[in-house]
């Protein structure tokens, strides 16, 4: 038996359970609400989707959990001092979806769509000079799975692409930077900054006044990572001073974004409802099934998230 611990609406839980059991017919995956007290001691593995982490304590012999999401920051905080290993979803389908979103909204900023939208509202007919893609410099914060695929997508569409990571990396046709000095060097050249970092203690509030002022005047921001990485007050100040021309935000500290948030009405912010890279149920279940089959065959837990780094 494998419990599925989640906070999904009931109809979504039913869909996920059907898909998981179809691929793992010998495992008997059930809703956590159906697991009896006496059965919990035998559980060594659980599948989770944004679970109430207090429920995990009920499984005293739990060794590892497999998340159906790529983001696991809440789990890492809750399990920082726990021996339970966390395996996050690494899905090429999700990476491709993210790269499409990064390309789409980079083009949105590159082709001055926010400015032309304002002109339409004012019935103002004015053409602006088009900057070639090869001269548009795009910096990516985070060169993990999502960042690397997105960087390649942008590069294939003719953009001048750079990327920053905590430790040094080498990626073909991408200018790679690392460390504090490397970050400053990349920021100074980024006309568009795309954030794809995981949320960790080191990255919380990283997109703040200090970082934003290092960007060129009139640059744009895209945050497809986590809302907690951006200091909202500092971003608003940078937008209001025209240092930052526009921000595309798909993630927020609290979701859904509250109806009284000032972000909704800001003329230089585009709000998206966390849709840049939704989990694909079919590919996700295939990956989870492969990892569990491997664990049953070898006894080896798949690559887990580092409790030190948070990713």
Catalytic residues: 226, 274
Which residues have C-beta within 8 Å of that of residue 287, sequence separation ≥ 6?
89, 90, 91
Cα separations in angstroms, 282 against 17, 293, 307: 12, 16, 28
- Rounded Cα gap, residues 304 and 85, in angstroms: 6
Residue identified by tokens 């359970």 is 17
Do the bridges between strand 244-249 and strand 219-223 make them parallel or antiparallel, or are there none, so unpaired? Answer: parallel
């Amino acid at each position: 038996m494998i419990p599925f611990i989640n906070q999904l609406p009931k109809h979504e839980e039913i869909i996920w359970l059907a898909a998981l059991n179809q691929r793992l017919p010998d495992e008997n995956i059930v809703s956590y609400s159906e697991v009896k007290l006496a059965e919990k001691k035998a559980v060594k593995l659980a599948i989770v989707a944004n679970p109430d982490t207090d429920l995990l304590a009920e499984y005293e012999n739990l060794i590892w959990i497999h998340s159906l999401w790529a983001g696991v920051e809440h789990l890492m905080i809750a399990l920082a001092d726990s021996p339970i290993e966390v395996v996050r979803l690494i899905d090429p389908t999700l990476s491709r979806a993210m790269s499409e979103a990064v390309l789409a909204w980079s083009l949105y900023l590159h082709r001055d769509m926010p400015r032309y939208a304002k002109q339409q509202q004012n019935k103002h007919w004015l053409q602006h000079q088009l900057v070639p893609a090869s001269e548009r410099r795009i910096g990516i914060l985070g060169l993990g799975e999502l960042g690397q695929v997105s960087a390649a997508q942008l590069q294939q569409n003719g953009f001048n692409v750079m990327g920053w990571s905590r430790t040094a990396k080498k990626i073909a046709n991408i200018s790679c930077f690392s460390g504090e000095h490397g970050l400053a060097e990349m920021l100074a050249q980024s006309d568009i900054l795309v954030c794809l970092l995981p949320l960790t203690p080191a990255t919380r509030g990283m997109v703040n006044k200090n970082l934003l002022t290092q960007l060129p005047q009139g640059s744009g921001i895209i945050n497809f990572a986590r809302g907690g990485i951006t200091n909202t007050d500092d971003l608003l100040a940078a937008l209001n001073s025209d240092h930052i021309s526009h921000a595309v935000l798909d993630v927020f500290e609290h979701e859904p974004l509250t109806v009284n948030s000032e972000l909704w009405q800001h003329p230089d912010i585009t709000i998206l409802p966390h849709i840049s890279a939704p989990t694909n149920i079919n590919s996700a279940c295939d990956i989870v099934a492969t990892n569990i089959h491997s664990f049953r065959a070898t006894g080896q837990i798949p690559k887990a998230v580092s409790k030190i780094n948070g990713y």
